[in-house]
Structure 1
């Protein structure tokens, strides 16, 4: 259960102010159909994070435990630094019109936007660290939904409740703590 709860918390925090959260806001404002958008976010996240988790599980088979500890520690610390750099969304991340419908457009846009994103990389690292594939994938997917579904339903008001800078600093501290724990543990 630890892998699930840690994965949920880390991804929910890491997603605050992330480009995919901004994409959720843009899709909600553009299409005004929350259910297909939320379902599209769920499907895209589940597939993307399942692939990322598989990569994390694979890494543990090719890297020894001592090297893995150092790689994970350094990666978590790098992620802490990355958390302090806010994401921006560019026009290429937003769909021109719903060629595949609202659901399909959301799945494609979210899947592509999540490639190489903080939360995808965090999923790889968490799967490698905990070696609990299903718990990590479930946790990171729940974390994404906790961060993005309210944005779709409540819009911009939701992102104003807590200053994003505070969320980013707290996330950075958590990642730094995990990095130190991996290095020292």
Structure 2
């Protein structure tokens, strides 16, 4: 698999059902905005967000060379999941 395909599939699957996608669906379903405008604005926002993520990742790679970034990301996802489960049972 090419790196482009792997990155595309990973990000595409991560975005399915994400809050960003749901917000875009709501804007499109609202009827007050032309679908092309919703598509253009959502696309530009995702491109800018991805650009910032790449810049942050490049900076993190320079400053956090001692700690694997995948470990940091994994621990972050575990923490968010644990917090979500805690909030569910906390009531």
TM-score over 0.5 for the alignment? yes
Aligned counterparts, 1:142-153, within 5 A = none
CA distance in 1, matches of 2:44, 2:34: 16
Cα gap change, 1:32/1:19 in structure 2, threshold over 3 Å: closer, same or farther?
same
CA distance in 1, matches of 2:78, 2:9: 14
Cα gap change, 1:51/1:76 in structure 2, threshold over 3 Å: closer, same or farther?
same
- Residues matched between the structures, number: 80
Note the aligned Cα RMSD (angstroms): 2.3
Contact 1:60–1:68 (8 Å) recurs in 2: no
Counterpart position of 1:46: 47
Cα gap change, 1:13/1:81 in structure 2, threshold over 3 Å: closer, same or farther?
farther
CA distance in 2, matches of 1:78, 1:62: 18
Q: Which runs of 5+ in 2 are unaligned?
A: 85-91
TM-score, with normalisation over the residues of structure 2? 0.70
CA distance in 2, matches of 1:60, 1:43: 26
Counterpart position of 2:56: 55
Q: Deviations over 1:131-162 (max 9, x none)?
A: xxxxxxxxxxxxxxxxxxxxxxxxxxxxxxxx
Counterpart position of 1:20: 20
Larger Rg: 2
Higher relative contact order (CA 8 A, sep 6+): 1
Aligned counterparts, 1:1-185, within 5 A = 1-2=2-3, 4-30=4-30, 31=32, 33-64=34-65, 67-69=66-68, 71-76=69-74, 78-79=76-77
